[in-house]
Amino acid sequence: MSEPCLPIRLLVVDDHNLFRRGLIALLAQDRRFSVVGEAGDAAQALIAVRQLQPDLVLLDNHMPGVHGVHAVADLKATHPGLRVLMLTVSENVEDLAAGLRAGADGYLVKTVNTEALCDSILKVWEGDSVISPEMMGKLVGLLRRTSPATATTGATPTAAATSDPLAALKPDDPIHTLSPRETEILKLIAKGESNKLIGRALGIAETTVKIHVQHILRKLNLSNRVHAAVYASERGLT
């Protein structure tokens, strides 16, 4: 994957002026980013995207008028190639699901630390998807409630009783094409672990993990690690 063209042009959208200004000041200290504009609601954000054509929007959810999750599709339609990373206090899994369905490239809660936020911006710009670890479990739970494994994976009714969930899947499920190491990594992705933490857990380099993740996505015909986490959870690998 090619490196992003730096600095990444950012638009910060949040209705709380103090938080917005503080975030802008924080990001301005990082030479990888250039904050080209700000907005206090979705309507202002649409105008700013048209005029400024940023690379990535940091988007709050609960704002006056249109909520952030309902503005994602319009923002992306306004500027093809735009990335949208939601940054919100909302830990409501329905908000998370709505944002992802609308095309959001990531969803972070505002408790995220500075280093993780900056890393997430880079990952999203590189084409990855990011979700706060505390939200990943909620997303998996929602998907399990709404998408029974037997309907999506072809698992037999006795799948839950087996100690090896892979054994209960259809032989032609692409998950069987994964190597043992790739399966290990897929399980950790499903738990919301970053490449760095996966590398530490398995005693391998972060760059090696990244290569394995690319192989996993290609073999499973998935577009990003969020889809990979969903795929794994539906197959009982969590």
Model confidence pLDDT, tens digit, residues 12-28: 999 999 999 999 999 99
Residue 8 has which token pair? 């990444």
Which pLDDT tens digit goes with each residue over 91-102? 888 888 888 888
Residues 128 and 153 in one domain: no
- Secondary structure of 110-146 as H, E, C letters: CCCCHHHHHHHHHHHHCCCCEECHHHHHHHHHHHHHH
In a domain, 138, yes or no: no
Last residue of a domain, one of 82, 109, 132: 132
Residues 175 and 218 in one domain: yes
pTM (two decimals)? 0.70
Phi/psi of residue 92, each to 5°? -80, 120
Q: Which of 84, 101, 20 minimizes the C-alpha distance to 46? A: 84
Phi/psi of residue 199, each to 5°? -60, -45
pLDDT at residue 152, rounded to an integer? 43
Q: Which range of residues forms the domain containing residue 210?
A: 147-234
In a domain, 3, yes or no: no
Residues 76 and 151 in one domain: no
Q: Tell me the average pLDDT across 214-223.
A: 89
In a domain, 142, yes or no: no
Gap between the Cα atoms of 213 and 227, Å rounded = 12
Contact between residue 124 and residue 215 where contact means Cβ atoms under 8 Å apart: no
Which pLDDT tens digit goes with each residue over 144-156? 665 544 344 444 4
Q: Coil, helix or strand for 100? A: helix
Residues 26 and 112 in one domain: yes
Contact between residue 34 and residue 8 where contact means Cβ atoms under 8 Å apart: yes
Which pLDDT tens digit goes with each residue over 25-84? 999 999 999 999 999 999 999 999 999 999 999 999 999 999 999 999 999 999 988 999
- Sign for the pseudo-dihedral over CA of 89, 92, 94, 100: positive
Residues 20 and 111 in one domain: yes
Which pLDDT tens digit goes with each residue over 75-94? 999 998 899 999 999 888 88
Q: What is the CATH number of the domain that holds 157?
A: 1.10.10.10
Gap between the Cα atoms of 151 and 53, Å rounded = 42
Contact between residue 7 and residue 21 where contact means Cβ atoms under 8 Å apart: no
Contact between residue 192 and residue 137 where contact means Cβ atoms under 8 Å apart: yes
